[in-house]
């Protein structure tokens, strides 16, 4: 049974999944648009929303240090720095739904479902 279990395993162990998430989240923040498989894209969309909400909290001076420490655990250093700066200001008026997943043509080599993840 799968009670109260969320997320996808992506055929990886926990440490490998954690590393994959960190790299993909960092790339999404740095490039603002990535192309990946549909399962990974949906997983990234699920993970990026809480991180953006925390980055919006970093705009408040009294919470900035704690939030930046949290971001440093979840993201590569360059991505955390970019997110802690001016990047979060463009989402000030949005409450949620910071990214969109667009399905594209299947990959020719193995017929995997592909998708593009980008910020709104």
- The domain locations on the chain are 35-119
The end-to-end CA distance of the chain, in Å, is 36
Q: Enter the CATH code of domain 35-119.
A: 3.90.1030.10
Per-residue model confidence (pLDDT) at position 69 = 87
Residue 105: CB atoms within 10 Å: 7
Reply yes or no on whether the pLDDT at 92 is more than 90.
no
pTM of the model: 0.88
The predicted-structure confidence for 12-54, as pLDDT tens digits, reads as follows 999 999 999 999 999 999 999 999 999 999 999 999 999 998 8
Q: What percent of the chain has pLDDT over 90?
A: 58
């Amino acid at each position: 049974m799968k009670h109260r279990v969320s997320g996808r395993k992506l055929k990886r162990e926990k440490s490998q999944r954690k590393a994959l998430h960190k790299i993909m989240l960092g790339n999404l923040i740095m490039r603002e648009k990535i192309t990946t498989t549909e399962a990974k894209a949906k997983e990234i969309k699920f993970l990026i929303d809480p991180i953006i909400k925390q980055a919006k909290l970093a705009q408040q001076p009294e919470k900035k240090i704690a939030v930046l420490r949290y971001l440093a655990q979840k993201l590569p250093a360059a991505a955390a720095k970019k997110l802690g700066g001016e990047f979060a200001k463009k989402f000030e008026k949005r409450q949620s739904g910071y990214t969109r997943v667009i399905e594209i043509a299947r990959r020719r080599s193995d017929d995997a479902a592909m998708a593009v993840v980008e910020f709104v």
